[in-house]
A and B are shown apart, each in its own frame.
Chain A
Amino acid sequence: MIDFVQMTVSGIAVGSAYALMALGMVLIYKASEVPNFVQGEMALLPVFIAYMLIYSYGQSVFTAFVGALAFAMFLGCFLEFAVVRRAKNPNILGLIIITIGLEMVLLGFVSWKFGADQRVMPFPISSYSSVMFGNVYISTLDLLTLVAALVIMVSLFLFFRFSRLGVAMKATQQNETAARLMGIRTNRVKMITWGISATVGTVAGLLLAPVFMEPYMMWDPMLKGFAAAVIGGMTSLPGAVFGAYIVGIVEHLFGGYVSMEYKAVVAFAVIVIVLCVKPSGLFARHYVKKV
């Protein structure tokens, strides 16, 4: 029983990193209607920028992280402004291919700049110390991930509920033409959405970096985040978070009870099962194709 609780807790902790990636993907899917495969690399580049700021320019960890988040905001806006917006009457496949191309460019750039060897991100909290709640251990880094994910979810909720920009984003996502007629610059709103999404992804990247840091580090979280977003229905923020926790918990339980080797695969089996039962995802309210 303690094993079960322990594994569930670890699953939730891993799930919160996936949840951040899934949130980023859902934000962009709602704004630009494209499954965003560049999400992982939009987080990867700022993480390596933070590493460079610490080691080559001797900045403190805090400054470097703030710099990385600011750079992520800029990178997301820049990618939307310079590339995605320039596609002429794009269809969905074309946009997906553009994001895959961007992903390859950024990945190639990072691995050219930093080589393929593994690095260690200095982090104020060690990933080996842990806290004990009752009989359950949770490492402090996992705890921080959990708290950071919760804080970001709550602030995104508040942002979409109470700020002018958030409401404008919701309007753009629901009906772009009507939003433009109401005087919202939908292009700019989309650009800022990409920036926010990259920032959210970068938080996940910075929290994953102390454990494992190399140019391919964001592949796995990105695919798991995508799986989570699909489970949640691709358009619902709470759905994406819920899906991410499901993926994390199922993955850990499967790794503990069945087979450690196939732990990474089980998330995709979960997608197949969910999509067979409910093709539009668990949280999608009703599927309406925007014209």
Chain B
Amino acid sequence: MQKSHTHLVLYKTMAFALSAFYAGVAGGLYAFVLRFIEPELFNLFLSVFFLTMTVVGGLGSVMGPIAGAIVLSFLDLQLRNILSIPYIGDWLRDLSASYFSLTGVSNIQFIVFGSILIAIMLFEPLGLYGLWIRMKKYWKPWPF
């Protein structure tokens, strides 16, 4: 790249700046969604959550992280009141009451997200984007 007269440092800096711009816009909008802000809100866990979204969607694709964000936000909302899901909820309540603690049941979402991260890295490193590519490849010459 350096040989073809592309100014590497300039473009890398520009990529960094652009990413900071998007993060800034996101932060501003997030504050309106939540209606309150404090510095502690934007912690490492939030970064890890975004990383999970990106990985689920597919590293290195543009549409992937959007899909990942939709999937994971939906999952996050569902997992917040996991105890009210019909059958799994009752089973989890019994399990927590006898072996675990009921106060910590919301932490199941960490277990789920962590397992998703590991499973994607082990079985489909490109995430949803990789699945999409594979599907396209499979269906393109369809009858054969």
Contacts and interface: CB of A to CB of B under 8 A. Distances in A.
Interface of A: 83, 86-88, 90, 93-94, 97-98, 100-109, 111-117, 215, 219
Interface string B97-128: 00111011101111111111110011001000
A112 B102 CA distance: 8
B96 A112 contact: yes
Interface string B1-25: 0000000000000000000000000
Contacts of A100: 48, 51, 114, 117
Contacts, number: 83
Interface of B: 44, 48, 51, 55, 59, 96, 99-101, 103-105, 107-118, 121-122, 125
B103 A115 contact: yes
A58 B60 CA distance: 52
B104 A98 contact: no
A111 B45 CA distance: 15
A98 B105 CA distance: 23
Contacts of A114: 101, 104
Contacts of A83: 118, 122
Contact of A115 (B51, B59, B101, B116): B101
A107 B55 contact: no
10 contacts: A83-B118, A100-B48, A101-B114, A102-B118, A108-B111, A108-B114, A112-B101, A113-B100, A116-B107, A117-B103
Contacts of A112: 96, 100-101, 104-105, 107-108, 111
A263 to B, nearest CB: 16
Contacts of A102: 114, 118
Nearest to A103: B114
A214 to B, nearest CB: 11
Contacts of B99: 113
B104 A105 contact: no
A148 B99 CA distance: 34
8 closest Cβ pairs, A-B complex: A108-B110, A104-B114, A101-B117, A105-B114, A108-B111, A101-B118, A111-B107, A115-B101
